[in-house]
Chains A and B, each alone.
Chain A
């Protein structure tokens, strides 16, 4: 019998790169996203990982839970080391290996901001992926500048965070890099398409990946994908790409441009223990912020 159906790249290409038995918590979104990376690049990637959950997830010496090269670096230097490796590969004429800086929101929005900005300005040929679990989960759920408004953390224990989330994707668009995108672990096909587009573009590529953390956000591990989906369906997390000087809204987010089609924000918040003490006024503030973001998207499409 001849092969009737072509084998889809997801899941056939993602097999056997991220190995079972890593040190992640149950329901962790990090290996989920790595599997999509594996589907695109297979072993041909060099992951540069600063101090974050991922450096724990790959495991301790002598083992390594991902079949790719991993470079562990100091917290602030992910983008700097990645640009150095990319330049060295270019000098040696190696073109088929992709350098990926894989950093958390603390290592990107707070501590690694300076080296990230420098690498973006020099336009090195790397992909920078910021997986955003919205606090310093590895060290015990401290507030980061990427934590959303009203969220509980161990350093904002009583009334929650009183500032809005720092939007790194828009900061990177302001740098004028060739490619910026937002993605979510709940939409692996969308993330796959974005990585495929990014690998064909020369220059600095930035992807902001939304990754719900069961431990830090205080929800049942089985809802990781469900909550990431709800963030898109309520319009709080918008999937878009920026290239050729314009915003291109991605497929999963397109229906939610119309506020009537969005799910109520409360549905997303009530599943998470970190929003347990949130007041109705704060929910209004979150809705207002999301609406402003949508206005910005519509203006730049």
Chain B
């Protein structure tokens, strides 16, 4: 039958679909010229740095305070600018 050849099965596995993945632009930590350093004594755990972080690398837990993933932090300095207690300072990278 000629007609049967025309019925096309939906292609499921050959379509070039992008998959969610960490680091599509590589390790963006290499872009950094200044490194954010947290003073955990001053931190009031208000979550503002985590909420505003454009790269989603900061995690603030009430017990441990903020931790930053330096592999992907681009060093934009938004966290140090929004911090109400001045606990984050930008230190130049060597």
Contacts and interface: CB of A to CB of B under 8 A. Distances in A.
Given A18-B56, A26-B31, A65 B24 contact: yes
A130 B2 CA distance: 50
A11 B22 contact: no
Nearest to A16: B56
Interface string B40-55: 0000000100111111
Interface stretch (A194-202, A219-227, A232-240): A219-227
Given A11-B47, A26-B31, A62-B19, A20 B55 contact: yes
Given A222-B77, A225-B78, A62 B54 contact: no
Given A26-B31, A58-B24, A222-B76, A63 B50 contact: no
Contacts, number: 122
A28 B54 contact: yes
Contact of A20 (B47, B56, B62, B78): B56
A224 B51 contact: no
A22 B25 contact: yes
Contacts of B28: 20-22
Contacts of A224: 54, 76, 78
A40 B62 CA distance: 22
Nearest to B56: A18
Contacts of B56: 14-16, 18-20, 31, 35
A8 B62 CA distance: 12
Given A32-B54, A61-B18, A62-B18, A22 B82 contact: no
Nearest to B62: A5
Given A59-B25, A60-B24, A32 B47 contact: no
A26 B22 contact: no
Contacts of A176: none
A18 B74 CA distance: 15
A221 B55 CA distance: 13
A247 interface: no
B78 A63 contact: no
Contacts of A203: none
Nearest to B82: A225
A265 to B, nearest CB: 21
Contacts of B74: 26-27
Contact of A23 (B25, B57, B59): B25
15 contacts: A19-B56, A20-B55, A21-B24, A21-B28, A23-B25, A27-B54, A35-B51, A58-B24, A59-B21, A63-B21, A63-B23, A63-B24, A221-B76, A222-B76, A226-B81
Interface of B: 16, 18-28, 31, 47, 50-57, 59-60, 62, 69, 71-72, 74-78, 80-82, 90
